[in-house]
Structures are given as C-alpha cells and as structure tokens.
Structure 1
Amino acid sequence: MRIDIHTHAFHPKIAHKAVDHLNNFYAVACAGDGTIDHLLAREKHARVDKCVVLCAATTPAQVIPANNYAASLQNAHDEVIGFGTLHPGYANWEAELRRIRAAGLRGLKLHPDFQGFRLDDARLLPIFEAAQKDFIFEIHIGDNTSPEKNPSCPYKLAAILDAFPDLTVIAAHLGGYRMWDHALKALGGRRRENLWFDTSSVTPFVTPGELRALLNAFPHERLLFGTDWPLYDPEEELERLQRMAGLSDTQMEAVMGNAERLFAARGPALM
C-alpha cells in the first residue's frame, strides 16, 4: 500500500486563507488549493492509495473543531487517515483523548512553532504519558534558526524519545526542517525503536549528496514518504525524491510501503 504520511487539507471556507498563509510564511507557491478534493485527486494521479491528513490546533479553543474535522474527513473518505491534535493549554485533554480514540483517529499532530509552545514544555509530559499506547505522534521538527531559539529542534525531540521509550513518533522533515546537520547529530547513527522519519519538505532545500547522507543516517525501514501537501505535489515529490536520493524502483516502493507496517504495529491493519 502506497501512503503519503504528511498532508494537510482545510475546510473549504478557509482553504484559500490557509494556502495564502503558507505561501507567505514559507515564501513558496503552494502546489495545491488546500481542499480535500484537490488533495485526493492529486494522490490518485500519483497512484498513492492513502494519505494521512494532519490537523493542528493553533489555540486551545481550536482543539475540538480540529479533531472534529479530522474525524469527518476520515469518515467521509476511505483514502484518508485522520490525525487529530492536542494543545498543552487545553485543560480537558484527557477527555479529548478518550473522545478521539473512540472516533478512530490513529495519531496526533503537534506543530510547536505554529501552535505557540515549546516541545520541552512540561505540560506535554502527562499528555505523552497518557497517549503513548494508543496514538502515533507526528511532530514538526526544526526551522531555519538556532536550536536554542527553535521551539521544536531535534535535541528536544531526542530528550522526549529517551524519556518515553513507548512513545511512537514520526519526526517530520527528516528530523529537522532546515537544520538537518543538527538532526544528524541528535537523531542519526542510533536506532530508536520509537522513532520514524518522514521525507516531507526536504528535497527543495538540500543537495542530492545531503539528502543521501540523511537517508543513510536513518534506518531505511523507518523512512516514510510525505509531501506536506498543499506545499508540494505528490507526483512531483515522488519523482524528485527518487531522483535526488538515487533510489531504485524497489527501494522507492519500500519507502512508500513503510507506513503500512507502522500502522499495523500500532493498531488495526489498514483496509
């Protein structure tokens, strides 16, 4: 099964505003319009079977609406695996965990930079403790700044992984968006059973040599294909990743299929 582990889709009423924000924040021209229909059309064109749609609450008040939307997308589209979200400022997080577990959501997205907290925020510790057996965490890691200033640097993630060995984490952007040298130092060269990596938002910013060094530093069976749609198009990202990394068709299909193993290990097999 070919899976895109890292996508975003927004409610039609706000999709254009969300895309405009992404364009301005990242100084890019998004490949998609931000809607679920466009996402699924592009995934189908790229022969991708399923996609994880990530929802993150930028404020505590958005936690319930974001999780409702993630569940509605998963219920409406067989191709969608919905990931919900939490916020350390949301007081009723324990009840919300029970609610989204009952809704069948398989994971939680955290984006400290956009959500306005640091990954070493002590309020996250009980959330990790309570959620680690039931949810996969997809966490944005890195930014174009120093580790000290960055809310989600690879070193903060490494400390969490060591403290919670039963916590399953997908480190987005190969473990450190725009700070891949730190990702290599903090996360490379050591196999952590609770750590996976996605490839989203990497290839536009690295050389082929840098990409190969990153991929070789992490276990290949822990690599997950991700596009960060609507920023990047699935078909274009598949071609660019394979070409720059020098992966054979067999190797590329293995990366595309690793997510199915992850989900099988953490709950019901995907249908």
Structure 2
Amino acid sequence: MIIDSHIHIPSPGWNGHTSFFSSQDAAIRYLRDAGIGGAIFTTWQGVFSKTAEDLFAANEDALKLAKTYKGFLLPGANVNPLFFEESQDWLSRFSDEGHKWVGELIIIDDAVPYASAKFMKLFEICAKHNHIVQLHQHHDIIKIAESFPDMKIVCAHIPPKEVMQKLCNLKNVWLDMSGMSGGLIIGQLELALELFGHKRLLFGTDFDGYEPRAFIARVKSVVKKKDEQEDIFKNNLIRLLA
C-alpha cells in the first residue's frame, strides 16, 4: 500500500482556488485509481484561508470527509495565526477526535512568517499537545525545529540544498517529497536520500495539483531496494503517526 502524506481536496463552491476536479468524490476516485491507498489531506479553502469563516468551513469539511472516507482519508487541521482563538479551538477539536496532524500550513503573501510571534504561539500549543506539523518548505523551519525539539515537523516539498543540510541534523524533522521542488526534479530526491536517509523521507505528491503516478515512478526508479521503497511509501509515515 502507498500512503500519500500530502494532498489537497477541492473546495467546491469556494472561489479562492480552481481545481481540475468538479467534485471531491471525483478527486478521491482519481487518487485511488492512481494507486494511492490512503492519504493525509486538507482542503484548499483551509490552505488559503483568509477569514475565520474560511477556517471554520474548511475544518468542518475536513472532519466530514474523514468520516465519509474513514480508513482512506486522515485530516490535517488548518490553523491561521491571524485567527488565534479560532485556531486554538480547532487544534483542540481535532485532537479530541484523535487527529494530531496539522497542515500543510503555508505563509500567505509573506504576511505572517513562520518565525513570527503569532505563529510561534500556535507552534507552542502544537508542541505541548504532540501535534505533527507540516509546513510548506521555508528556511524558518530551521528555527522552529530548534525552538521546539520535541515537536515533530514535516517539511513539505524538498527545500534547497543549503536548507536541507541544516534540517537533516535536526532529528525532529522529516521531509515529504511532494510538489513544486520535490521528487520529480532529477537530483532532488537523490539529494534528500543522501542527507536524510530513507527512514525520514515521506511519500507525498501535492495532489490535486500533481500526478501521483509520476511520484510513484520516481521512487521506484531512484530507490532500488524494496524494503526502502516500502519505508518511503508507507512505513515511515505509520511510525511517525504512532
């Protein structure tokens, strides 16, 4: 089985993002047909939330989808430092329902950096309650990982070499190979394996923007040992969630 640690589900009826898929069900069918046996997700409305109402709708939608597709979809909580109280409440609700994953979180228009006081207050809560935090690649992740050494952090996508060289020494950081600068680029997956090893690399695609089959093919072409493929495809994530 292959578990995708990084996908996004369409938010039909919300105009903040345009998806290829006309419905959430269609996106999930495509993902399954591509060979994915499970996935950690957020909705696009949550990723790009600009209001507290966006945050509410996205997190409600995520929890509903997780119940509808129980055993296949695992939700990540969306939080936004601009709406601290609401975000704190959502972290608590997700945790109460047994969901410890947070994100992928991104920085929207560089408005509130990860290392800002507002974001750091949220990370403090995440660290206290053993959340796993997935962050869009950024050099600030170094500071966050150093500030919260007991908090498990997933760096989404494969960052530039100079950032990776520092992150790989921080044992509370994992990489997912998804999307933009990720495993599809020749040399990136190879470098990630060299620096992090196959035990700290997670399979991820950034679906619904990227083709899962392409990422599967890259793992199989670069990682020759079947047991190491299995670690990347599912075992590392299962251990991280345990």
TM range (shorter): 0.7 to 0.9
Is the 1:8–1:34 Cα contact (8 Å) retained in structure 2? no
Q: How far does the alpha carbon of each residue in 1:148-191 deviate from its partner, in whole angstroms, 9 at most, with x for none?
A: xxxxx22x1111111101111110002x2xxx223233323x2x
Q: Deviations over 1:11-33 (max 9, x none)?
A: 23248x6236xxxxxxxxxxx52
Task: Give yes or no for contact 1:203–1:211 (8 Å, CA) kept in 2.
Answer: yes
Query: d(CA) in 2 for partners of 1:36 and 1:221?
Result: 32
- Pairwise CA distance, 1:246: 4.2
Tell me the amino acid that sits aligned with residue 69 of structure 1. D
Partner secondary structure for residue 197 of structure 1:
strand
What is the alpha-carbon distance in structure 2 between the residues aligned to residue 255 and residue 75 of structure 1?
A: 26
Shift of 1:230: 1.0
Partner residue in 2 for 1:111: 106
**1:99 aligned onto 2:93:** yes
The answer to whether 1:126 aligns with 2:106 is no
- Tell me which stretches of 4 or more aligned residues in structure 1 moved more than 4 Å: none
**Shift, 1:34, TM fit:** 6.8
Unmatched segments (≥5 aa) in structure 2: none
> Do the aligned residues in 1 keep the contact of 2:154 with 2:175 (CA within 8 Å)?
yes
The Cα shift of 1:218 comes to 0.7
- CA gap of 1:7–1:13, structure 2 versus 1, over 3 A, is same
Question: What are the equivalent positions in structure 2 for 1:89-238 lying under 5 Å apart?
Answer: 89-92=82-85, 93-109=87-103, 110-113=105-108, 116-132=111-127, 133-141=129-137, 153-154=138-139, 156-174=140-158, 176=159, 180-188=160-168, 190=169, 192-201=170-179, 202-204=182-184, 206-207=185-186, 209-238=187-216
Partner of 2:241: 263
**AA at the equivalent of 1:140:** H
Q: State the shift of 1:80 in Å.
A: 0.4
Equivalent residue letter for 1:6: H
Q: Which residue of 2 aligns with 1:76?
A: 68
Determine which of 30, 50, 53 is the counterpart of 1:42: 30
Deviation of the 1:210 alpha carbon? 4.1
Which deviates further from its counterpart, 112-121 or 77-86? 112-121
When the two structures are superposed, what TM-score results if normalisation uses the length of structure 2? 0.85
Alignment-mate amino acid for residue 95 of structure 2: R
**When the two structures are aligned, how many residues end up with a matched partner?**
231
1:65 counterpart residue number:
57
| Cα gap change, 1:250 to 1:91, in 2 (>3 Å) | closer
Which residue does the alignment assign to 1:9?
9
Answer whether contact 1:225 1:255 (CA < 8 A) is retained: yes
* 1:42-88 residue CA offsets vs partner (Å, 9 max, x unmatched): 33223322101124252242222221111111111021001111111
SS at match of 1:228: coil
Answer yes or no: is the 8 Å Cα contact 1:59–1:115 preserved in 2: no
Give the RMSD, CA atoms, in angstroms: 2.2
After superposition, the Cα gap between the structure-2 partners of 1:81 and 1:210, relative to the gap in structure 1 and judged at 3 Å, is: closer
Name the aligned partner's letter for residue 85 of structure 1.
N
SS in 2 for 1:8: strand
Given that 1:57 and 1:85 are in contact with CA atoms closer than 8 Å, whether structure 2 keeps it comes out as: no
Q: Structure 1 246/98 Cα, relative in aligned 2: closer, same or farther at 3 Å?
A: closer
